[in-house]
A and B are shown apart, each in its own frame.
Chain A
Amino acid sequence: MARMKFYCDAERCIECNACVTACKNEHEIPWGVNRRRVVTIKDGEPGERSLSVACMHCSDAPCAAVCPVDCFYTTGDGIVLHDKDICIGCGYCFYACPFGAPQFPEAAAFSSRGKMDKCTFCAGGPEEDQSSDEYKKYGRNRISEGKLPLCAEMCSTKALLAGDGDVLSDIYRKRVINRGASAFEWGVNNSKIPG
């Protein structure tokens, strides 16, 4: 079975925020909640790089470890999902997550946050696949339609990749080999370098 991963290639991301927009539109995400965001480091300076960040669907997910009600689960494809019917909105997953992925619709007095929302890798939630309940709570379930996450599918520079980890590794390895290579170096075949 595939092990689903995101990879964002910092050499290709142009900070267009199209992934953020596509995600918000595809899942009808409310104002103030951002399942995906683009962070630019050294903005306007030499060495500027942008990365698109969302839930990275960790193997040993910190959110799932600290959740006081154990509402997280990992699918057979390695996608980390959660059950909004169990979530109590305590915010602990947000404290533990390295990527700032968990989002809350409110930030009100008496610790009222509402149910946590995060990137589902376009795989919905525990409700029946493609049901209206699932769409309301978790957004569209593209995985059940045989499609990959929309953010990566429509990335114009193919900086953001989503899919089977082995396939992504192969794609990225080829990119690195080509980038690191000089046409004059031993073992590099000029004809194989894409123009």
Chain B
Amino acid sequence: MRVHTLLMMVCLLLVGFQLQAADPPSKPPELSSIAPGAELWRDVRQRDQDVTGTTQVRSPGADVLINVSGQAWREYRMQELIPLSGAAIAIVLFVILLFRLVRGRIMLENGRSGLRILRFTTNQRVAHWATAILFSILGLTGLTLLLGRSFLIPVFGAEGFGTIAAGAKFLHDYLGPVFVFALTWLFVLFVRDNIPSPKVDLQWLLKGGGLFGKHAHAPRYNAGEKLWFWLASIVGLAVIISGLVLDFPIFGQTRSTMEFYHWVHSIAAIVLIVVSFGHIYMGTAALEATFEVMQTGYCDSNWAKEHHDLWYDEVKDSEEPVPQQQAQPDPGARQSTDSA
């Protein structure tokens, strides 16, 4: 007990000496700031918005000392956009391949009828193919700029890919504005028959569009085609507006404006690209006697009965025999592999 108290007293004494020694003898008056520069940098860096000042340089963003949005954009592009868009494309292609393996090529149940019906006018087909070709070029050049560094530099080398990418950028920037006209033309020609008819469309969707069994009733365009039409129109509008902002950096757009529209443009475009794979597959290799409809404008009567029965009922009076010299083999039959 006594030893314990003694130890405690010794400890307290030692602590007392320690405190006395650490105490500075005389403190100078408070300095306004030890390192004013550090305060400046703290102000500049620890903000969630740009710190602007004045500068003699005249260009957009020159007065911003530290651009805080750049890091977020870098992380979006490198850690989200590139890996996720690559994965989305791979998954959709895999699903299409799986569907092909499960369902095979879907043939007409009753074969060809020898009768045909006009489904698309020349104007409609030209609008479709103009949009389709422009979409393909824009999609491929866009994907080249997005994923080329990962996939094409190992093949062509940095110099070779630099030339390819410069060409891709040129095509993308000059054909983008043309796509605006093509998509508008397509929208005007096709919107009438793509107005949703809730009852029929819902039934079609509930039956899975006949993908996995019996055919579902469908008017001129089934619910799947209508969904693609409206997706292409609405998301396409987002791609167009954002693309025009990015393509014309002549109105003093700031970096954060460009980053925002790049974010819109990339997400919308990837959505359109992956869904277009489904549309391309369904329109070419998936179904017998389908590709020729957009190619020639005419569809086989049996094709109309099976895929668009409600429309067939409306137009069956206009059936005509297929002219002998024009009877052509199913172009889809030559494509054994998935062109998607």
Contact = CB atoms under 8 A, between A and B. Distances in A.
A69 B158 contact: yes
A77 interface: no
Interface string A38-75: 11111100010101010000000010011111110000
A108 B165 contact: no
B315 interface: no
Interface residues of A, number: 57
Contact of B166 (A11, A17, A38, A88): A88
Contact of A68 (B24, B66, B71, B165): B165
Given A90-B145, A98-B66, A10 B40 contact: yes
B36 A95 contact: no
Contacts, number: 153
Contacts of B158: 69-71, 83, 86
A66 B162 contact: no
B262 A95 contact: yes
Interface in A82-140: 83, 85-92, 94-100, 103, 107-113
Interface stretch (B1-9, B11-19, B54-62, B191-199): B54-62
A96 B249 contact: no
A76 interface: no
A185 B74 CA distance: 47
B325 interface: no
A111 B169 contact: yes
B63 interface: yes
Interface in B70-89: 70-71, 73-74, 77-78
Contacts of A90: 145, 169
B188 interface: no
Contact of A100 (B41, B62, B247): B62
Contact of B173 (A9, A94, A96, A111): A111
A34 interface: yes
25 contacts: A10-B36, A34-B59, A37-B56, A39-B54, A39-B55, A39-B62, A40-B55, A42-B53, A47-B40, A51-B40, A66-B78, A70-B153, A70-B158, A86-B159, A86-B162, A90-B145, A91-B249, A94-B255, A95-B73, A99-B66, A99-B67, A107-B250, A109-B247, A110-B173, A186-B24
Interface of B: 24-26, 28, 31, 34-37, 40-41, 43-44, 51, 53-57, 59, 61-68, 70-71, 73-74, 77-78, 145-146, 148-149, 153, 158-159, 161-162, 165-166, 169, 173-174, 177, 246-250, 255, 258-259, 262
